[in-house]
């Protein structure tokens, strides 16, 4: 699949910031979009500071693209109304704009946290039912459902990447299972943009961690290169963490995390 122009939403965020440079190297034109300022524009990069508050807003930046990588949204636990607006409605605006503009492929930012309530001892595939570890995970279940709808009903090609813990290097015991290195992040996204034969797929984007919780998707064709185990000796508390068989979401799966970030504690 030939990809020359890609729209990257959420370009100033953690994932978008990692992806801009490797995408610029491969593309004729990268359109970076965020509601906050995006700096260090590359020579083949357009930058748009805008929100995705409606379909027309999304249409204004998507027209002429070969594909969209949609990362914009609320990145963590929050009140459900905020998550519905930022993650679910925002994804719908992008998908509908892509449909109207004739963009063939959309890569959506899913999350490993839509299965965070599975136990660590269970190897999870995208075919298993969701078990979100919070309201953020619930919003990502809805995002995947929207992607499936647009693939099934309108013939679009949609890839939902369930993104792992994107960090320069793992620093937490849970990261030994969930880490996604910057190099592997770029590799998964490029494969999601270019792999042939896609209608709809949901796939975990995670490095080749010895202790990973999740099955890799063979359809994307990307084999991750990095393993968090290289850093295990630098991380305190690893033995105790995995001996306790925690939920895969770790602290995100605790009741307190959702109460503190998303619910009125009174």
Question: How is the chain split into domains, by residue range?
Answer: 5-262
Active site residue 136: yes
- pLDDT for position 265: 58
- pLDDT for position 230: 98
pLDDT in tens, 106-146: 999 999 999 999 999 999 999 999 999 999 999 999 999 99
Does residue 105 surpass a pLDDT of 70? yes
Does residue 20 surpass a pLDDT of 80? yes
Q: Given 136, 204, 252, 257, which residue is catalytic?
A: 136
Residues 6+ apart with CB under 8 A from 90: 52, 70, 72, 73
pLDDT in tens, 188-214: 999 999 999 999 999 999 999 999 999
What's the pTM? 0.96
Top-level class of domain 5-262: alpha beta
Does residue 33 surpass a pLDDT of 90? yes
Q: Region 39-49: what's the mean pLDDT?
A: 94
Beta bridge partners of 163: 111, 205
Q: Say how far apart CA 91 and CA 241 lie, in whole Å.
A: 35
**Looking at beta carbons, which pairs linking 259-265 to residues 24 or more positions away fall under 8 Å?**
261/76, 261/77, 261/78, 261/134, 262/77, 262/78, 262/79, 262/80, 262/134, 262/135, 262/136, 263/79
Does residue 54 surpass a pLDDT of 70? yes
Beta bridge partners of 110: 162
pLDDT band per the 50, 70, 90 thresholds, residue 245: confident
Which residue has tokens 């969930």? 178
Does residue 2 surpass a pLDDT of 90? no
- pLDDT for position 159: 98
Phi-psi region of 237 (alpha: psi -120 to 50; beta: other; left: phi over 0): left
- pLDDT for position 34: 98
Q: Region 139-166: what's the mean pLDDT?
A: 98
Name the percent of the chain lying above pLDDT 90.
Answer: 94
Under 8 Å between Cβ of 137 and 253: no
pLDDT, averaged across the chain: 96
Q: Region 41-68: what's the mean pLDDT?
A: 95
- pLDDT for position 244: 84
């Amino acid at each position: 699949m030939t990809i020359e122009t890609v729209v990257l939403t959420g370009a100033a965020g953690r994932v978008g910031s990692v992806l801009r440079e490797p995408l610029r190297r491969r593309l004729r034109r990268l359109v970076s979009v965020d509601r906050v300022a995006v700096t260090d524009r590359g020579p083949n990069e357009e930058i748009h500071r805008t929100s995705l508050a409606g379909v027309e807003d999304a249409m204004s930046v998507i027209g002429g693209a070969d594909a969209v990588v949609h990362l914009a949204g609320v990145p963590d636990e929050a009140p459900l109304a905020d998550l519905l607006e930022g993650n679910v409605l925002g994804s719908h605006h992008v998908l509908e704009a892509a449909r109207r503009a004739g963009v063939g492929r959309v890569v959506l930012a899913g999350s490993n946290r839509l299965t965070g309530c599975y136990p660590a001892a269970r190897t999870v595939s995208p075919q298993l039912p969701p078990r979100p570890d919070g309201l953020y995970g619930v919003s990502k279940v809805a995002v995947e459902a929207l992607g499936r709808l647009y693939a099934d009903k309108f013939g679009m090609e949609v890839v939902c990447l369930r993104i792992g813990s994107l960090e320069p290097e793992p620093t937490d015991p849970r990261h030994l299972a969930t880490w996604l290195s910057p190099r592997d992040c770029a590799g998964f996204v490029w494969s999601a943009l270019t792999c042939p034969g896609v209608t709809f797929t949901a796939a975990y984007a995670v490095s080749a961690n010895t202790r990973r919780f999740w099955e890799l998707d063979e359809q994307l064709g990307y084999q991750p290169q990095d393993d968090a185990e290289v850093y295990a000796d630098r991380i305190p508390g690893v033995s105790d963490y995995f001996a306790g068989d925690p939920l895969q979401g770790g602290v995100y799966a605790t009741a307190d995390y959702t109460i503190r970030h998303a619910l009125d504690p009174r």
